[in-house]
Amino acid sequence: MAVLRMSTEELSRVETLMHVVSGRMTVTQAARLMSVSRRHAHRLLTRYLDDGSSGLLSRRRGRPSNRRLDDAIRDQIVALVRTHYHDFGPTLAAEYLAERHDLRISREKLRQMMIEAGIWKDRQARRPRPYQPRYRRDCRGELIQIDGSKHWWFEDRGPQCTLLVYIDDATSELMHLRMVESESTFAYMEATRAYIERHGKPVAFYSDKHSVFRNARASAARGDGMTHFGRALDALNIEIICANSPQAKGRVERANATLQDRLVKAMRLEGISSIADANAFLDSYMARHNERFARPAFDVRDLHRPLAPHDDLRSIMVWREQRTVTAALTLHYNKAMFILEPNDVSEKLARKRVTVCEYPDGRLEIEHEGHVLPYRQFDKMRQVNQPAIVENKHLDAALLLARQMQAIMPHHRKRNNDAPARRDQPMHLFPEPEPPAKIDRRKLGGSKLKRGPRLSDEALHERGTLRFVQRT
């Protein structure tokens, strides 16, 4: 005897139809009780009278769902994800499947398929941590969070570099992106100049306590502790605010995490492996990102201000330092001597202060009261050419030891410690010497001088040292 497994709803319908058959209930009352139409109630009654309780079983039982994906399409999606999007999340993978392959599938369905295929694993639920939320600003352009994210943006296709991120606090809109070699003053000057030319001047920038934004060694000799980047923003009437913790500027930190996931994969699909190609691609990516994640501001006003007539970004975004001109019309900057060309202006500047301006593009100008002074440069950090080493008894070992000891104490081979980082300048006047190889100090004094190998006359002739050998 077959056993019928009926659901609770089906058992309830059997009981209701039994009351209809016995005359204790009308069809209209039964339809209202079963939450079906009167026509469907008559249909259920007919099936009950013909087949009994088994006639009320769902006829969809054992049949595939109408929304079930075809096996071929399912295998195609899994193969595409496994080939191109194996490290993508279900949400991002669903977006690229619809955009690049015209395969539209819900992210939850894709998540289930990726879990079944062993491509994706659900993250364990994190323990909730109490935190004090900071509400968004009301208007666009009121507060712009900035930060530099050092990451392997090109994976193994290129070097490690830094992405400068500008995000609006009110809308979570990416305002500006720029890929640079390192997080430096000149890099932020170039990026901020491009930002202002595109959007205008915001009310304030919100950053961390990086040395670009805050001078922790403020003293009376150095002034009020304002950095060169802070001085440039002050000239533009833009406030710079430093956050006390990374959590305080959570908008840009969260954007960094999103970009390290999505932007890396987008550049991989586009085959981008250089900083120049990345900067050309960032505008189009930024538009896609904002369309996906940006939100409208609480207030529709835009607080960005246009540049004032006296605002010259070229002369403001610059590294400025004061120097005193000697009686010989010379000045020293970054261990280099600059000799002013004699003219009507420079001849009157002995014992006076001038301004050395170093631009982000590598140019260097010497100014005094609006006049640009011509100059000649003499770099004191000249390279010392080592003569050829004659392998005669202990001389080669002694010279090697002397070079090693000189390499670990290159006090005259270093630029000033407070000089700006110049990795992001395309051209500048201060080339750095090749860094010496790392040497273990503990082994320098304990190395024994050994006699070098005896060379043949042919080898000495090739080295040009045969004339130094005494014949016995």
Residue 229 contacts residue 120 (beta carbons within 8 Å): no
Percent of the chain with pLDDT strictly greater than 70? 74
The pLDDT of residue 401? 58
| Residue 274's pLDDT band (cuts 50, 70, 90) | very high
Q: Within 10 Å of residue 344's Cβ, how many Cβ atoms?
A: 7
Q: Which residues pair with 367 in a beta bridge?
A: 355, 372
412 pLDDT exceeds 60?
no
Residue 236 contacts residue 229 (beta carbons within 8 Å): no
The pLDDT of residue 421? 66
| Residue 328's pLDDT band (cuts 50, 70, 90) | confident
Q: For the residues of 176-187, what is the DSSP string, one character each?
A: EEEEESS--HHH
Most confident of 205-219, 344-358, 417-431: 344-358
Residue 279 contacts residue 179 (beta carbons within 8 Å): yes
125 pLDDT exceeds 50?
no
| Residue 130's pLDDT band (cuts 50, 70, 90) | low
Cα distance between residue 171 and residue 168, in whole Å:
6
Q: Within 10 Å of residue 60's Cβ, how many Cβ atoms?
A: 9
The pLDDT of residue 416? 60
Q: Of residues 464 and 161, which shows the higher confidence score?
A: 161
Q: Which two tokens stand for residue 279?
A: 């900067």
Cα distance between residue 190 and residue 290, in whole Å:
23
| Residue 124's pLDDT band (cuts 50, 70, 90) | low
Q: Of residues 42 and 399, which shows the higher confidence score?
A: 42
Q: Of residues 218 and 140, which shows the higher confidence score?
A: 140
Most confident of 290-299, 394-403, 445-454: 290-299
| Residue 252's pLDDT band (cuts 50, 70, 90) | very high
Which residues, 6 or more positions from 379, have their beta carbon under 8 angstroms from its beta carbon?
Answer: 335, 336, 337, 429, 430
| Residue 238's pLDDT band (cuts 50, 70, 90) | very high
In 3D space, the residue among 157, 100, 424, 148 whose CA is nearest the CA of residue 272 turns out to be 157
Q: Which helix (H) or strand (E) holds 321?
A: strand 319-324
Q: Which helix (H) or strand (E) holds 281?
A: helix 275-293
| Residue 391's pLDDT band (cuts 50, 70, 90) | very low
In 3D space, the residue among 233, 213, 229 whose CA is nearest the CA of residue 320 turns out to be 229
* Identity of the residue numbered 203: V
126 pLDDT exceeds 80?
no
Sign of CA dihedral 439, 440, 442, 443: negative
Cα distance between residue 28 and residue 16, in whole Å:
12
The pLDDT of residue 437? 55
Question: What integer is the mean pLDDT of 59-83?
Answer: 81
Q: Which two tokens stand for residue 176?
A: 């500006």
Percent of the chain with pLDDT strictly greater than 90? 33
Q: Which helix (H) or strand (E) holds 146?
A: strand 144-151
96 pLDDT exceeds 90?
yes
Which residues, 6 or more positions from 164, have their beta carbon under 8 angstroms from its beta carbon?
Answer: 146, 147, 148, 176, 177, 178, 179, 180, 183, 187, 188, 191
Question: What integer is the mean pLDDT of 328-334?
Answer: 86
Q: Which two tokens stand for residue 444?
A: 């320098």
271 pLDDT exceeds 80?
yes
Cα–Cα distance list, 168 to 172, 236, 251, 285, 287 (Å): 5, 19, 8, 17, 14
Question: What integer is the mean pLDDT of 112-126?
Answer: 77
398 pLDDT exceeds 80?
no
pLDDT, mean over the chain: 81
The pLDDT of residue 268? 93
| Residue 253's pLDDT band (cuts 50, 70, 90) | very high
Q: Of residues 300 and 380, which shows the higher confidence score?
A: 300
The pLDDT of residue 393? 47
Q: Of residues 319 and 58, which shows the higher confidence score?
A: 319
Cα distance between residue 144 and residue 169, in whole Å:
6
The pLDDT of residue 463? 66
Question: What integer is the mean pLDDT of 310-314?
Answer: 88
Q: Of residues 93 and 451, which shows the higher confidence score?
A: 93
Cα distance between residue 144 and residue 129, in whole Å:
26
State the burial class of residue 322 (Cβ atoms within 10 Å of its Cβ: 0-12, 13-18, 19+): exposed
Model pLDDT for residues 173-194, shown as the tens digit of each residue: 999 999 999 898 999 999 999 9
| Residue 54's pLDDT band (cuts 50, 70, 90) | confident
The pLDDT of residue 70? 81
Most confident of 11-15, 288-292, 376-380, 424-428: 288-292
Q: What is the 8-class DSSP label of residue 140?
A: B
Q: Of residues 450 and 318, which shows the higher confidence score?
A: 318
